[in-house]
Structure 1
């Protein structure tokens, strides 16, 4: 059995992805086989080599270039901005994995700002049944009132059931059988939903009622208001809690432990040392900017809640 694992990255995210990949390889069961794919559009040959060098006898590193034509319907427009701040096509790549890799009926997707702290083969053994995917509820937003309001009033979903898309166990066969990508592109073109977390909101809406909720240890996120989990299987440095920008981030030791084993360690330490207090303040302000979208989208006649009153958006 091969465990297929997917990342989606842009070239400037290589050093963080390298730290994540290194941690994945360290925790891989030597008795299992893994193929790790990096979905990309702009990875340099040098960075491909850097990532390939981190592979092992049973962890095979491969690259897949996303065709411009495939993602052409996803335009650089404000509705698709990540964190209401900037556009990055790579957040949408994960949605196309089942179509691009028909040889797999089940796959794991993880973001690049992660650390793997357990064997992903354990996660891959998850029985998905008829669900579209397995994921963890988004613990990073449970204490953010504005985000809870957005989920309730704009998305018309339960905040306690709103999942984070940084780790997915995808039922690739169900995605294909139920024509997920056609439905996604149809909704995208028809409504241009103004989203705080574009790919994540679409997954929550289209997957509603067909999501398997997984143990929170598989998507542990730094949080200033809750205690750290004692045995995180996967750590996801979500939003602005990046240990290469902030000091004293929850779970930061796991990141630096893996970073030390890569060629990017000194570069990452320098990035942390040179990141200014003003830049950190700006990052926190970006969170407020992201949440400011809630008031406007609540009044939008074509927000998720209102469209759902007229038609079904879930599969």
Structure 2
């Protein structure tokens, strides 16, 4: 399937009246640590001559976590950090959401126009992201008249690679005329002025209220349904969810002519501008299941995330505790994989060899050595 060309985002010098870059996160207190790393990477890549207003929407964040987050931004004079507790009237709007998996904060991005009336445009970022580029570049995206910009979701790439529709996209086919255009809602550029003029918050809420049972990915599904055909695609490097060990020629060929065409080169060259650590394998969590530590997403996420986390003065107690817990687990897994390597052949040998190599890199970071 041929996709429309994704937009390019050339660096645009900001005129004086556009020198402030508003960015929104929403997170519970339990996400304070990954949020601090996301903010840290945003600050590191913030350009000079602009001011970055970072707003954290929360549900009653502990004062100590707020203090630690402020420590992250303190060395950067061009960055301000502010905290907004989700108003009770907004919380009540989302009571039919999937309470077991998602808090009302998951829907806060849909209400950004009301939460931040002072802005005409805002960037929304999930807390499980790492910035490798200046978020101002994202903010000045050409939305081509659309109220929102978002990158394609990994489920669409999976469907193209496999030659069959992912089950969730089959489900979304009841609502979307083109399920392969399904977008990821973890990184958004929102034209708040246009959303207010078109009363899009009302349309988004209607989708939420129209179902007695919640959508599997509630805010993301609602956004895709309500704005289907009205979302400008972001380049994949601004919401990169597509890490892989290798990209063979057959896989690369399947992506030709699609919005994911550049994904293999971005992945191999680590050339993303924002890495989004989607899925359950989060590098700041001790694995609940022993096999998790061998999952390639967990390994690669850990390599990139811990390099940044180790630079932080904030949350030092939590980071040291997690690091001490992970190191022996990784060592045991490396020894196990090295033993199995002797009995492996072909692609299984190569996969185990790559896993061992990356696990050693992660371990070196945890031990304070250069990977």
TM-score normalized by the length of structure 2: 0.67
Distance between the aligned counterparts of 1:157 and 1:261, measured in 2? 46
Q: How far is 1:191 from its partner?
A: 2.9
> Aligned equivalents of 2:326 and 2:113: distance in 1?
37
Match of 1:198 in 2: 218
In the alignment, what sits opposite 1:285?
Answer: none
SS in 1 for 2:124: strand
Q: How does 1:203-222 map to 2 (within 5 A)?
A: 203-222=223-242
What are the ranges of 5 or more consecutive residues in structure 1 without an aligned counterpart? 277-315
Q: Which has the higher contact order (CA 8 A, sep 6+)?
A: 1
Distance in structure 2 (CA, Å) of the matches to 1:147 and 1:253: 29
Kindly indicate whether residue 127 of structure 2 is the aligned counterpart of residue 87 of structure 1: no
Which of residues 296, 309, 314 in structure 2 aligns to 1:259?
Answer: 309
Between the aligned partners of 1:60 and 1:196, the Cα distance in structure 2 is: 35
Cα 1:202–1:58 shift into 2, 3 Å: same
Q: Pick from 170, 191, 205: which aligns with 1:149?
A: 170
Report the CA distance shift for 1:210/1:221 in structure 2 as closer, same or farther (over 3 A): same
Cα gap change, 1:66 to 1:137, in 2 (>3 Å):
same
Residue matched to 1:287? none
Structure 1 residue runs of 4+, over 6 Å off? Answer: none
Alignment correspondent of 2:40? 22
Are 2:155 and 2:169, in contact at CA under 8 Å, matched by a contact in 1? no
Distance in 1 separating the partners of 2:178 and 2:323: 39
Quote how far apart the aligned CAs of 1:229 are: 5.3
Partner of 2:349: none
For structure 2, list consecutive stretches of 5 or more residues without a partner in the other structure: 1-18, 160-165, 248-263, 286-291, 331-371
CA radius of gyration, larger in: 2
Cα distance between partner residues in 1 of 2:268 and 2:179:
21
Q: Please say if residues 105 and 172 of structure 1, whose CA atoms lie closer than 8 Å, have aligned partners that are also in contact.
A: yes
2:195 matched to 1:175? yes
- Cα RMSD between the aligned structures? 2.3
Q: What is the distance in 2 between the residues matched to 1:201 and 1:273?
A: 38
Give, in whole Å, the separation in 2 of the partners of 1:110 and 1:68. 22
Which whole-Å CA distance do the structure 2 matches of 1:109 and 1:116 have between them?
Answer: 13
Secondary structure of 1:112 counterpart: coil
Give the match's secondary structure for 1:14. Answer: helix
Equivalent-residue separation in structure 2 for 1:21 and 1:143 (angstroms)? 30
Q: CA deviation at 1:203?
A: 0.6
Structure 2 residue 48 is matched with structure 1 residue 36: no
Which residue among 117, 122, 140 is the counterpart of 2:132?
117
Q: How far is the alpha carbon of 1:40 from its aligned partner?
A: 0.6
Write the distance in 1 (CA, Å) between the matches of 2:169 and 2:275: 22
Is 1:60 matched up with 2:100? no
TM-score w.r.t. structure 1 length?
Answer: 0.79
Residue 198 of structure 1 and its aligned partner are, at CA, apart by: 0.2
